[in-house]
Structure 1
């Protein structure tokens, strides 16, 4: 109780918290409140009211509810808690932890329909899902509507700065319940910004500010009012989880194992030396790094039923989140080295259900450790995590493409660890040979492989190397020319090579966009413009046309309805930000100047080449997704009607050279054609590129090349190579018919 606090220790609201509380009450249409608290004559309250506010002290908590109702007849009331605890002898299971919360708030009644009541409590009362907190919120909701909750971290001077308090504002219950607003700030935040943000929230009827929001739906009376639980941004992210491939509840993936309560320790604890003793793991044994802490003198041991024993692959989650814990849940996946063991009630043990594969387990653990997982439950630091809430947590499920990437990343990490172990072993063995000459020879020979691996891996961070080796052949070959030209210093050839590579990058990606849009049944206005130019028999499409296609793709609403993994979404990202759009525009201007004989002066050539190369690099960086989209030339297709699969032979035209080995694969499709070009996207789906892109030998240079339609005079089609600009005339009716079919002619 209030009189139990240490003599002379008085806490006060911070000035910012005072102002926020007053603004909240004023926004509800009331004047300055009367502060009502408990304090015996001659004593000081543990929490002191602001000096300028009228205060009434009651000697005991029993008289508070009646006094509050009396005052509410003419003014608003702000209840200031005693912040004391009743003795353990007075507590009972499921009851509130203090007389203030359990007795006073249950008994306060509005005096009229305009009555406004505010109170300051620890945030656990609003956020906890313990039975006493749920019952108390339900009791309050019988007579009051909760209008506003203001969480303050470190908002009480004189208390532990980690303490989070809640200022709750109620109005007499009505049939048409008003919206709920929730706000949260910290003493570390800028006061002026917090106050301005709070004023903005009070004036809102919906939406969100930086520190607060208006809940989209009024929670049930029993529901936790934890800040994150009803945040519109968190709700949006909850809905967005399906974008990973699917969503399942954690309880569908794992089932919870029984635990041992420490209150019954005398019934099952023993010493480590006793036969059958197993380690008892609690929350403090789960390390933040995802491992189980080593055995210490404080480790508990016990004899437990077989149903309680943990197994490799089981998860152990801390039941209580410490304020200094990382954003997500602290969880460890048990290994054989951690066993035999069982869990106490301070941790939640979870076992994978049959059929749960390694990818799903890995993804679940990754998500549990993310801050979003904790926010979806609304768990605040210091509160106990219930197993039912954890089992109800939505867990995103990776689709096939994402699962493969995660497998590759995991394999890369394993390979890196193997290399590190090999390097450590090599370094430790330097002086183990019988002679220095033998050691020198062995170290040089053994270290050569390690050095080559590291050099090869480091090249992957080099954008130029990635473009040259992993981008599709038309772009990679042009980039090779650019690197060769620019390496010799600024020149007209280097400057022209940069602009040529830019045009081919835009041309290639635009052709992909046209082909993918056509196959998806989406009509692009930019395709109509190209059709008009080709049908008129004028000069073929160029830099501006390709840019027009990509600009339309980046802004078209038609494309938003496509599935999340469709490759057109990546193409949309190429020019959808200010930086890449401006880089493209500058390069377009330079290309126009070149075409209209506005040549760069030799004095300005070094700067112009450097700036153009920087803009091209910006576009290539944005187009990194091309490294995951190999260009395939199908050479043979054999359909097996019995197995309903097609055996393919193909050349993967990746990198800066067209001479590549023939590979094979099997796909469950019968609509593939030999001789055509295909894009293989990140999901390993094949997309036909004919007739937008055509692969054939060039009659001029005798090299295999990639062509697009450049002109279409009567009875002919003129194709132009992306790699070197050579043209070839095609008078066949088949190609022209294909172009007419996709409405390019």
Structure 2
């Protein structure tokens, strides 16, 4: 148990290192660790003649004993450490490698006598005789390492506990961690043995490897101070030939580093044939399999890319686990559990070096609130309990459950994919097929283009080439198809399997610009290039136009799988896509699609006519003729504009269906009369949109446990220290959207909305431009004359309209304010009464809906189409304005004294709230160093 006094001393010595210009946490730990080593050397190796231990103190090294060294004057002690101790420790590591290998790369970087004295005083106060106290102190030191520094020394406690509870180390086990870090897995294994097997001390070896000797010193100290005497730690790269003779083990637990490529020249010859890849995450698995004894078991943390990667090396390592050994289970860890070190999702693999797999047990924890710094006993107990039943009752569960079993035959049939999502998706497809949806592969044939680009292409006479020699390359797909005679020509023989037909729906397999298009008759006979996907509807089943419209929709795009860095669609994945069924005959659906397309085509023709009339102004002719063409173009454009305004206003969608603050700002913009008023209203619209998106992002981050994102913390700091800028809000939006995409979380539509489009375009680019423009105007560099205001308004309106359109996911959500909660015993749900704050209605609409979870009264929530209720408190509040005496929507702008100063989103009116202050303070107060 660590005392408050010792915590204070740790903080003091830590501050001393910082003050001396040594802010790197890893370096501080390293220096303190070596000093503790020096103190322990005298206790462990007293130097008695006839002892079986190495005699390290004799003659010229006698003065290096801790008791003598620390009695020297500070300047003299520093010189001895710098000039004599370092060389002596390195010499020991080569003379007695079984005892002192951790000193091979020892270095002392303390440069001032005063800092060395403070560190020595701290080490002397360190009670290393009591394992429970010494271990707790050292763990506290390790806990001060800032993961954002790029070093991830510690595995989250929950992950360590899971690995130990499932692998269950025994007294006779030879245990190894080939990537031992700070030795936490080895320590947890030894503690488990001591708790569960009181029959005596461990009989097997406890061994760890590390390619970084400075980490090895920390691991050795961590184990030693916890009472594990002389652990067998080796300074060796587990992937190199240096590790070839280090034996086999009955249990391996490991959390290898994520990602990267290994120098093939240094790789062990055994592993070269074992894995056939340079990817370290695959080589680590191969090395672990190689190190296991027959019948040995392993628990390993792997990045999720290992589970579904499409390269031959990924598939081969998974095939080896499933077909040549026994893959026991896969546990998908909660997303973001390794934040902020990495946003990569990870899983636990458990396997045995024995015969092939029968069933694989899956447990999906991705929706859990598993902490990074403390075990959640109920969740962990559930995982372990179900693991123990994987050969019995777990076999009866379906993939809709949190845990389930999958036969090895099914895994083999799906390319050895090991993600629970894959098999849950299969289960959901079968269920949905009974609920009025079409599986694309059942109503159409899915074909992949095969014709590759070749140096021989275009060598034939293009003028005389037939359609069968023309190739539709994916890059040529755009909003309109090129003429057949303009397509590239291939010298290869036509491939019947890639020949296109009239009515085929074609698109790119890349997500950037798929351009799903129905091919006309004159394209029949053209070849499909590699990277093109062809959907050939079964005659008379579903119109090609309907399929093309759905494949082009965001609903379909969300259902496409993503693989590694390049988001390609595979033909098999596309065949498994579920298409919403549509009532009506083939002819009725096709006729409706034709009417829908008619309006789009007519709008395109109008646009083309206007563009041609504008271009024609500058064609050759006299100035009078040019003036006539200009007048005609102006009249034509004016008539079209008037007609379009009568048919429907582009801002009506935002005004009717977006959350109240945005809708109200849009209304003010629409009804502004003068350019100056319209310009100011546009700025207010920009601010309201950014604040609304920021509130959604903050609320999602708080609900999902993404508070540690740097941009979220920057926002919190701004609130505490005097206010936040629009730049802070945009940073929160960008960071939340990015992390959601990396985590595979739709985040109620924010992930897709904030994704960067081709050419760096997209919502975030528009918001960035709007903030720059708005700040320039607000800080006094805005337009002054009417002409300047009109030009600025044109730019501002174009960006604002694009940003509003890019935020369309807001229209798929509902902003509601709760007032009453009632339990419905027959339905087993709660009935919520309140107000819907959508659109620009002056009086909010009453809202009554049902939910599975109780909601707080007098709070704002955001509800998406999936029924998820996202609490907006304390980032968004509905309150009565003391200025205008009407309800307004507020956000926290800054904290002053004991109150939070709130501002309304659309008027800028201020309101103080002690309640928001208390909750916001609890949320954004930095965690204690403890």
Shorter-chain TM-score above 0.5: no
* TM-score normalised to structure 1 length: 0.44
RCO (CA 8 Å, sep 6+): is it higher in 1 or 2? 1
Please state which structure has a larger fraction of its residues in helix: 2
* TM-score normalised to structure 2 length: 0.37
